[in-house]
Structure formats: structure tokens, C-alpha cells
Structure 1
Amino acid sequence: MEQLALNAWLAANPEVEQIPGRDLFIIARYLVPMEANLAQGCLVAAGIPAVLADAHLMQADLLLAPALGGVRILVPQEYLQHAASVLASLARGDFALDESFTDE
């Protein structure tokens, strides 16, 4: 993503933050570590190299989660738009299994 397009996309998505000095961006935050793991799994399954930050800290003491900002999901710059699309699909329930699902 070229810099001008990136700046426009970031202006339209103010919740996305860059990690200072890195090519990683915080694409999402979760107060529940299991929800963050699920979201990361969806991103990785979509071919996006997503990593969790602070997951172990949140699991150690969930009462600190709101104060520390929760579990952060980080993705490289070139995957930002795709990651946002996958997370929007997850939030809409596009990946939910219906009652008729069988794993056979």
C-alpha cells in the first residue's frame, strides 16, 4: 500500500495504530484473550501473519485488561485492509457454524 493510500486508510480507521519504529499495526484489541485467539486464527487462516501482544499478561490477571488496553492483534502494513475485512466478517458472524454443521 503506497504511503498516500495508507494515510487515507488510516485516517478513515482511527482505531488502527502503528507500533512506533515497526512495520506493525494494531488492527484490533480484545479484553477477552480467547476472543483475541479466535480472531488471530481467522486472520492466519486467511493468509495474514497476525500476532498477539499481551495475551499472556491478560490471562494472568483479567482485571488488568481494561487498564492495559487488552490483547492487541498486530499485522504488517501490507495486510491492513485484508485484516480489517476479515475481522469485519468475523464480527458479522460470517464464520459462524449453524446448527446443522457436522464435522464428518
Structure 2
Amino acid sequence: MGIKPKSPRGEINIENYRGRIRLRWRYNGKRYLLNLPYAYSPENMHHATVKVAEIELDIMKGCFDTSLEKYKPQKIKPVTVLPEKKDNPSYPCYSLPS
């Protein structure tokens, strides 16, 4: 019931924050938080562990993105299907007599 001890150096914690998954860790003396758009449930823990592995790998390789843009899930834009264009121009084509 007391204060939680700090996690070991370099460890990334997976937490439940308002029903969503949140990752917390420290790197170079700074604290980083990454909120994932997935509900905190056993089915969605896979997404969190994949992100944790990706972040840990980048820290080991020395290419950690401090802006966290690389680790944020990409929003999928809906694909819009355009109707096929007909070859009927609005102006009739006339050929000039030769």
C-alpha cells in the first residue's frame, strides 16, 4: 500500500491508464509516456509488447526517436474509390473538312 518502487533502469512499464494501455520509461534522465489507443485487456497486450520490443531495440541501436512520432500508431485513412471516368466529353468533337 505504500509508494511503488522505481522500475529497473531501461525497463518499459505497461500500465492501465483510464482503461487504455500506456507505456512509461526513462531514457537519458528524461521520462517518456506513450498512450496507445487500445483498451487495457489481455487481447490487446500483444500490441503493447510489440511496441516495447521496438522501443528497446531502438534504444540499444542508438536510434531512439525522442519525439515518439516513430512509435505512435499510424491512423489508417479510408480508401476512397473514384468513379470511372467516361470518355464522353461534355463538348461534341467535330472534325474539320479538308
Query: Normalising to structure 2: TM-score of the pair?
Result: 0.26
Greater CA radius of gyration, 1 or 2? Answer: 2
* Greater RCO, CA 8 A, separation 6+: 1
Q: More helix per residue: 1 or 2?
A: 1
Query: Normalising to structure 1: TM-score of the pair?
Result: 0.25
